[in-house]
Amino acid sequence: MTTTQNREQQVVEGVAKGLYIGGSWVDAHDGGTFPVEDPATGNVLCEVADADSEDALRALTAAAGAQGDFAAMAPRERGEILRRAWQLMTERADDLALLMTLEMGKALAESKAEITYAADFLRWFAEEAVRIQGDYKVTANGLGRTWVIRQPVGPCVLITPWNFPLAMGTRKIGPAIAAGCTMVMKPAQLTPLSMNALAQILEEAGLPAGVLNIVTTSSSGSTVAPLLEDPRTRKVSFTGSTEVGRKLMQQASENLLRTSMELGGNAPFIVFEDADLDKAVEGAMIAKLRNIGESCVAANRFYVHESVADDFSSRLADRMGSLKVGRGTDEDVDLGPLIDEDQRGKVAELVDDAVAKGAKSLVGGGKMDGAGYFFEPTVLGGVTSDARLLKEEIFGPVAPVITFSSEDEAVASANDTEFGLVAYVFTEDLRRALRLVEKLETGMIGLNKGLVSNPAAPFGGVKASGFGREGGSEGINEYLEVKHIAVDL
């Protein structure tokens, strides 16, 4: 065994494989496990505990039992736990990044960037824990007082996707801890190891037993449903597809749960004739290829003014064509594999559909041979308006370019989608930029910038991209109830 293989094995061996319930790592009650795969090789890395509804309800019992004491813990103490966890994540970034690359596929440099981003949510919310605001006012008639306090919502069910195995978790766990909420977390089946490693770190940082409970499972629907029906659950926060978000909303409505929904995207990336094209191509590389294109904020449709479209497309094709695709753990690899064959098949289908309708491939265009779920970085020119990839999330390294001739046309095309998570706009004209940021129907905008994610900013969408905000000073409010106390003097 080589030194590299040795280290990979050690990192996987170092992670707990059980369910984390009430502060202990336990087997699923029926002893069931499921495999975790390396998407670069198709090899099984290890087995983890496979929870069912009985295990999930045990986890909820632990969360409900811990809620009272945790809500009463001093905010400073909750903040310090988060701060220590940030410190530990930062110190162990190399191992955490390797673990993430092994189960998710992205290149090591990208995994490291995610560890920093994920850890920063813990640091940010460590600072927010001591700033939960109340209010005290004289009533309009001067006779009474209105007094408003904010309290933890109570036990939360948190559900996260595989594409950012840690950051999507800390974006929920950080504010929940800061606010004083206990949790049952269900990570994605494809990437459970990173979340277990985070739980080990939070435990080491001093998080009391029962505050965070983790149920890994291969049957998410039947495991989560009883949690949403149980009156002890007070909130569900979900990050994932719009389709599953809709289902969870229906289930949550029975129990009238508070909900936060971070759902799918279909981001337009608009390049005007007055844009700085160097900046636009640089922004496109980030907005398209971060996380191998498997990101809710990935640029999905490139609307480029007809006068600069050829120049932009050929520069983007040159850059994308020169990337090194390979196993994320290998030196100098820029892009790893897609998460699995289903995802790769879907990307291939969308490209084939666009080409059948008239698009031309400027670079790439298909699956790569050999083991793993690799797909060529692809730029498509002359994409027609009926191509499916303009309506659906591609979730892969494919950039479709469509030309436009007027600002109104660009805005209308950009808004012609059920989604509304993020839009990217490249223009050097300040007045045009101001018009655009108001007209685009999205929760976030990258202005001459291909990256909007930042723990200090409110992340979230409108329309079918969901509601609620994670990060920023807004993020903690998702985990707080407002209580008004009326009193006359």
- 């277990």: which residue's tokens? 196
Residues of this chain, 205-244, that bind ligand NAP according to CB under 6 A: 220-221, 224, 239-241, 244
| HEC sequence for 271-333 | ECCCCCHHHHHHHHHHHHHHHHHCCCCCEEEEEEECCCHHHHHHHHHHHHHCCCECCCCCCCC
Q: Where does this chain touch ligand NAP (CB under 6 A) — which range of 97-105, 156-164, 369-377, 401-409?
A: 156-164
Amino acid, res. 411: V
**Min CB(444)–ligand NAP separation in Å:** 10
Task: Write each residue from 111 to 150 as x if it is in contact with ligand NAP (CB under 6 A), else as -, in one continuous string.
Answer: ----------------------------------------
Which CA distances in Å does 85 have to 121, 128, 174, 261? 11, 15, 10, 26
Binding mask 397-436 for ligand NAP (x = CB under 6 A): ------------------------x---------------
* Tokens encoding 149: 């306090």
Nearer to ligand NAP, 283 or 471 (CB): 471
Total number of residues that touch ligand NAP (CB under 6 A): 29
Beta pairing class for 444-447 and 422-426: parallel
Question: Cα–Cα distance between 250 and 229 in angstroms, integer?
Answer: 11
Beta strands in 365-453 (DSSP E): 378-381, 398-404, 419-420, 422-426, 444-447
Answer whether 105's CB lies under 8 Å from 343's CB: no
Query: Residue 457 CB, nearest distance to ligand NAP (Å)?
Result: 13
Q: Among 33, 189, 314, 413, indicate the residue that binds ligand NAP (CB under 6 A).
A: 189
Contact present, 366 and 374 (Cβ < 8 Å): no
* Marked catalytic residue, from 8, 114, 203, 262: 262
105 binds ligand NAP (CB under 6 A): no
Quick one: which segment of 18-26, 77-85, 163-171, 362-370 binds ligand NAP (CB under 6 A)? Answer: 163-171
Sole window of 10-18, 159-167, 278-286, 321-329 interacting with ligand NAP (rule: CB under 6 A) = 159-167
Does residue 188 belong to the site contacting ligand NAP (CB under 6 A)?
A: yes
Closer CB to ligand NAP, 305 or 463, in the complex: 463
With contacts defined by CB under 6 A, name the span among 14-22, 116-124, 181-189, 361-369 that binds ligand NAP: 181-189
Q: Which of 128, 203, 296, 393 is catalytic?
A: 296
By the 10 Å C-beta count (0-12 exposed, 13-18 middle, 19+ buried), 177 is classed as: buried
- 157 touches 228 (CB < 8 A): yes
- Interaction pattern, residues 50-89, with ligand NAP; x per rule: CB under 6 A: ----------------------------------------
Q: Which stretch binds ligand NAP (CB under 6 A): 108-116, 138-146, 154-162, 478-486?
A: 154-162
**Residue 313 token pair:** 């497309």
Per-residue binding letters, 241-270, with ligand NAP (x by CB under 6 A): x--x--xx-------------xxxx-----
Q: Which residue is nearest to ligand NAP, using beta carbons?
A: 240
Q: Which of 132, 177, 275, 296 binds ligand NAP (CB under 6 A)?
A: 296
User: Within 13 A of 204's CA, how many CA atoms are on the CB side?
Assistant: 13
Query: Vertex 324, ends 320 and 328: CA angle to 5°?
Result: 120
Beta carbon nearer to ligand NAP, 41 or 189: 189
Minimum CB distance to ligand NAP smaller for 158 or for 425:
158
> In Å, how far from its chain's centre is CA 330?
25
- Computed on alpha carbons and rounded to an integer, the radius of gyration of the chain in Å comes to 23
Binding residues for ligand NAP restricted to 448-477, rule: CB under 6 A: 461, 465
Say whether 46 is catalytic: no
**Which residue's CB is nearer to ligand NAP, number 168 or number 184?**
168
- Region of 71 on the Ramachandran plot (φ > 0 left; ψ -120 to 50 alpha; else beta): alpha
Q: Residue 393, interface with ligand NAP (CB under 6 A)?
A: yes
Using the minimum distance from each CB to ligand NAP, give the nearer residue, 134 or 221.
Answer: 221
CA angle 127, 131, 136 (to 5 degrees): 175
Q: How many CB atoms neighbour CB 367 within 10 A?
A: 16
DSSP line for 61-125? HHHHHHHHHHHHS-HHHHHHHHHHHHHHHHHTHHHHHHHHHHHH---HHHHHHHHHHHHHHHHHH
Q: Which is nearer to ligand NAP, 126 or 296 (CB)?
A: 296
Examine the residue annotation and report whether 306 is marked as an active-site residue of this protein.
no
Measured CA to CA, the distance from residue 94 to residue 111 in angstroms comes to: 9
Distance CA 178, CA 81 (A): 9
Binding site for ligand NAP (CB under 6 A): 159-164, 168, 186, 188-190, 220-221, 224, 239-241, 244, 247-248, 262-265, 296, 393, 421, 461, 465
Q: Any idea which residues carry the catalytic annotation?
A: 262, 296
